[in-house]
A and B are shown apart, each in its own frame.
Chain A
């Protein structure tokens, strides 16, 4: 017999019997599969309270578990069934932290496509709520540092510092953080894209404007890599930003 939302039940809680006789009646066939019950004695709502304190987490209470979000989710449908937004919201509300923790390896994979939020019939900001859950989990040490969080921080740091981002810096800076060996020029310490351990696809990509002699494009990107684009009136604003971000991190 098929189990509804199979990905939610662990293997060791499923009993399968070849032959099953209950009270003298042979129920083999369809009725030979049992999911062991689980007993939860108390609920810890402090996790929910913390999510509710997050500015984007407030709509979590409106959820009535219809699973429209999960049905729409591309990560659920095309990557891993275990990524299940409806279930994450359910677990967070009950405060079943160990269950949440079991799914920590997929929980960060949300690509922010907002299909969930868009289609929710109850007006839950699903994507934002999930990010709030992740943030509370990270604060409580329930989830390890995950790639997208590292990237988010890296991104924010650049924005706060310069006011603007630069594609080359993001790309090469990130690859360097991932352990790729990036060759840099000795004077300005800027990456040289087509040398060293940069991945092959990136070398191919950089070759295209070089081969087609697209000088102005190369010059523009080189200029931006050498002189990071900046917002001019930024110093005072940067201080306020730093202060606000620091307060929020507490």
Chain B
């Protein structure tokens, strides 16, 4: 439905501090028989920050990336980061719904030496793509070392499913009503109760713990550096709920959420808070281990919260 071969927009984080996510994503994608076409010379999507300063500027940043994808012949872009997929989908929304905006953006793109957009490509989160194009059956088939005994808290973060205007998520309960979700997409995850990560990791043998409603609670996101008090409280709630519900590890699908959880985990431990020592790992890292790769293949040593001891104690690394 989306396509086995798509444009890959990794985003800045994945080429720096979160390279573990990039490396493990490529491993998982290869194992599942899919293909990523790296978007050459992309630029930052602007995350959730630039949009507060400049509407058109942020739109242009994303339009340039869309144009690159079109140049490489793609109609679908896959982004592994919540922030990146949000930004691209947001641009998609405004370009599609506001009259005359596309022409204006195209003119500015031309002025900046970028090919104008002939068509607006759709952006999918990596998780949505993996679930739709490979799915749990394929994951099960590929699993060589089931994640037996591993209790995972699946943390989706905010922008993977929200808001439905951009992410095109639909509620499986009331999903038939076109008026309620005018832009809903059939491949999208459930909006309030996302389950794609649960399904993929369960297919790999892991056990998901009950994590609602913290599975989509904000980690502080764009304010994780600028508003430390609020972010610290949010992360504390997330970590303590995971611990209370018996999770060994928190599975993440966004480099920003991941960094925020790890950073505040160090702070909370320093402050002497209890039950905050649950480590975090990208869901692709866990899938990579299930597919028989070693811990260093999926760069588990890069995770600052150190999930290695937990995995070793279960005989998984």
Residues B114 and A237 in contact, CB atoms below 8 Å apart:
yes
Q: Mark B49-87, 1 if CB is under 8 A from A, else 0.
A: 111111111001100100000000000000000000000
Cβ 8 A contact of B220, one of A111, A167, A240: A111
Residues A156 and B57 in contact, CB atoms below 8 Å apart:
yes
Interface size class of B (residues with CB under 8 A): 35 or more
Cβ 8 A contact of B52, one of A117, A135, A214: A135
Q: Is the interface of A mostly helix, strand, loop or mixed?
A: helix
Cβ 8 A contact of A237, one of B19, B64, B222, B302: B64
Residues A155 and B50 in contact, CB atoms below 8 Å apart:
yes
Residues of chain A with a CB closer than 8 A to B272's CB: none
The answer to whether A245 and B304 touch (CB under 8 A), given A113-B158, A118-B162, is no
The answer to whether A167 and B17 touch (CB under 8 A), given A205-B304, A241-B112, A248-B56, is yes
* Residue B215 interfacial (CB < 8 Å): no
* Partner-binding segment picked from B8-16, B26-34, B118-126, B141-149: B8-16
Cβ 8 A contact of B53, one of A152, A163, A236: A152
Q: How far is B233's CA from A134's CA once the two chains are assembled, in angstroms? A: 24
* Residue A43 interfacial (CB < 8 Å): no
* Partner-binding segment picked from B200-208, B224-232, B246-254, B280-288: B224-232
* Residue B44 interfacial (CB < 8 Å): yes
Residues A74 and B54 in contact, CB atoms below 8 Å apart:
no
How many contacts between A and B, using CB within 8 angstroms?
190
Residues of chain A with a CB closer than 8 A to B231's CB: 111
Residues A220 and B112 in contact, CB atoms below 8 Å apart:
no
Residues of chain B with a CB closer than 8 A to A232's CB: 41
Q: Mark A209-250, 1 if CB is under 8 A from B, else 0.
A: 100101001001100100001011110110111001101110
Q: Mark B79-97, 1 if CB is under 8 A from A, else 0.
A: 0000000000000001000
Q: Which of A67-107 contact B (CB under 8 A)?
A: 74-75, 78-79
* Residue B186 interfacial (CB < 8 Å): no
* Residue A64 interfacial (CB < 8 Å): no
In the assembled complex, 16 residue pairs joining A and B whose CB atoms fall closer than 8 Å, in A order, are A55-B55, A55-B56, A111-B223, A111-B234, A131-B52, A148-B52, A156-B53, A159-B46, A163-B43, A208-B304, A209-B304, A214-B302, A233-B113, A240-B108, A240-B112, A244-B54
